[in-house]
């Protein structure tokens, strides 16, 4: 049983629960006084402003902000208190799009997407559309949270779902510090259940990838080197196998922004991001080939813009008006949080991009 360690910004009634307040912080101070260049001016140095969306490849759908965990750095500000859940009617609108999209990847996320009462129906219906790569972002502990979820590994297998799960470290201490007491042990149990039915095994087509994000105000190390370390440690200590590790940079929004400010690391972290800016990562940032759909059906350039309530710059605003041709070529909405996607080897929901 995992224990909830912290509370969502919403539950705490924090000023940062308001996305406008987050955007004010990101636009003022060191960026307003000229100590650091804005993201727009930085990408302008290499003639990459404005950023434009290319052909859609990944449709990411957030089916709700409810979660059984309250991780310290969650950019969704998810938790058990969040009640925003995608309705079956909005899911049906998404299905109409999924059946006709040119995207090769469907990516379901949350919160814990499995907590949406219509999650299984949605997966069953979406899997019939024949999308090449059907990802569910599962936090692992949900599988062990209640007996009604124990059969999730079999359910994922039945629908050939690609499971992508967060695992910030191969040690209990570092994992539980970021994600809550008991998360490590429950995650290990869930990974064993997934391995038992074939997920993550070397020759298996049942894909199991893990996501690493740093536990403090620093950038991730080299993705390939970390994958090697994770594989060695999880195999030696627990007999667990997985396919790839995605190293993701924490973006300075929501609970990570709250952490940065509370720990007096905000300015240092922004300096780190700007110093690590890699112009060659810009052309592959995920907003250029991804569209993010919120629980209430609105469209965003990425999951981060969704959380900052920065909608797409297009006549098409909602999944019910979806038009892939009109959305292609739109100007991406950016702010200083975007530096998180272009630091070092770059960062996306699929890990490094450069
Ligand atoms: S990071 Fe994932 S598992 Fe943790 S609270 Fe956020 S949505 Fe839930
Ligand atoms: S935060 Fe979103 S909009 Fe900004 S660069 Fe990253 S993916 Fe693109």
Residue pLDDT, tens place only, 52-62: 999 999 999 99
Bridge partner list, 343 = 277
- pLDDT on residue 351: 75
Structure-token pair, residue 280: 């060659």
Return the ligand 2 atom nearest residue 303 CA.
Answer: 2
| Residue 78 near ligand 1, beta carbon < 6 Å | yes
Report domain extents, the chain: 50-352
Could you report the per-residue pLDDT of 5-16, keeping only the tens digit for each?
579 999 999 999
| Residue 111 near ligand 1, beta carbon < 6 Å | yes
CA distances from 274 to 6, 146, 214, 287 (A): 30, 43, 17, 19
Structure-token pair, residue 111: 């919160």
Query: If pLDDT is split at 50, 70 and 90, which confidence band does 350 have?
Result: confident
Taking the centre of ligand 2 as the mean of its atom positions, its distance from the CA of residue 174, in whole angstroms, is 27
> Nearest C-alpha to atom 4 of ligand 1 is from which residue?
71
Three-state DSSP class for 316?
Answer: coil
Q: Which element (helix H / strand E) includes 153?
A: helix 152-158
Q: Within a 10 A sphere around the Cβ of 71, how many other Cβ atoms?
A: 22
Residue of 109, 287, 306, 344 best suited for mutating to test ligand 2, as the one with most atoms within 8 Å of CB:
287
| Residue 109 near ligand 1, beta carbon < 6 Å | no
Instruction: Provide mean pLDDT across the span 105-133.
Output: 97
**What percent of the chain is predicted at pLDDT more than 70?**
98
Q: In the CATH scheme, what is the homologous superfamily, with its name and number, of domain 50-352?
A: Aldolase class I (3.20.20.70)
Beta-strand relationship, 299-300 and 290-293 = antiparallel
What backbone phi and psi angles, to 5 degrees, belong to 336? -70, -20
| Residue 337 near ligand 2, beta carbon < 6 Å | yes
pLDDT score of 3 more than 90: no
> Nearest C-alpha to atom 6 of ligand 1 is from which residue?
74
Could you report the per-residue pLDDT of 158-174, keeping only the tens digit for each?
999 999 999 989 999 99
- pLDDT on residue 5: 56
Helices 254-262 and 266-275 meet at what angle, rounded to 10? 120
- pLDDT on residue 1: 47
């Amino acid at each position: 049983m995992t224990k909830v360690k912290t509370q969502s910004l919403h539950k705490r009634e924090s000023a940062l629960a308001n996305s406008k307040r987050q955007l004010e912080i990101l636009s003022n101070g060191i960026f307003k006084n000229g100590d650091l260049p804005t993201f727009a001016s930085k990408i302008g140095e290499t003639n990459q402003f404005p950023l434009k969306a290319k052909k859609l490849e990944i449709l990411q759908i957030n089916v709700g902000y409810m979660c059984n965990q309250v991780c310290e750095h969650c950019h969704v500000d998810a938790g058990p208190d969040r009640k925003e859940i995608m309705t079956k009617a909005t899911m049906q609108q998404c299905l109409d799009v999924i059946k006709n999209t040119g995207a090769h990847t469907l990516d379901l996320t949350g919160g814990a997407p499995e907590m949406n009462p219509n999650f299984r129906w949605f997966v069953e219906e979406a899997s019939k559309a024949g999308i090449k790569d059907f990802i569910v972002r599962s936090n692992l502990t949900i599988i062990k949270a209640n007996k009604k979820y124990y059969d999730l590994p079999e359910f994922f297998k039945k629908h050939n779902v690609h499971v992508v799960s967060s695992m910030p470290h191969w040690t209990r201490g570092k994992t539980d510090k970021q994600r809550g007491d008991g998360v490590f042990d429950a995650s290990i149990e869930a990974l064993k259940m997934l391995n038992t039915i074939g997920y993550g095994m070397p020759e298996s087509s049942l894909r199991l990838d893990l996501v690493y994000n740093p536990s403090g105000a620093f950038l991730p190390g080299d993705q390939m080197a970390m994958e090697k370390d994770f594989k060695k440690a999880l195999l030696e200590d627990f007999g667990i196998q997985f396919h790839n590790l995605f190293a993701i940079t924490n973006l300075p929004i929501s609970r990570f922004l709250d952490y940065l400010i509370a720990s007096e690391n905000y300015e240092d972290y922004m300096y780190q991001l700007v110093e690590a800016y890699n112009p060659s990562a810009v052309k592959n940032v995920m907003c250029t080939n991804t569209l993010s759909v919120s629980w209430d059906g609105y469209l965003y350039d990425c999951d981060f813009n969704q959380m900052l309530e920065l909608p797409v710059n297009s006549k098409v605003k909602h999944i019910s008006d979806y038009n892939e041709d009109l959305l292609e070529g739109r100007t991406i909405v950016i702010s200083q949080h975007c530096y998180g996607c272009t630091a070092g080897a770059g960062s996306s929901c699929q890990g490094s991009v450069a």
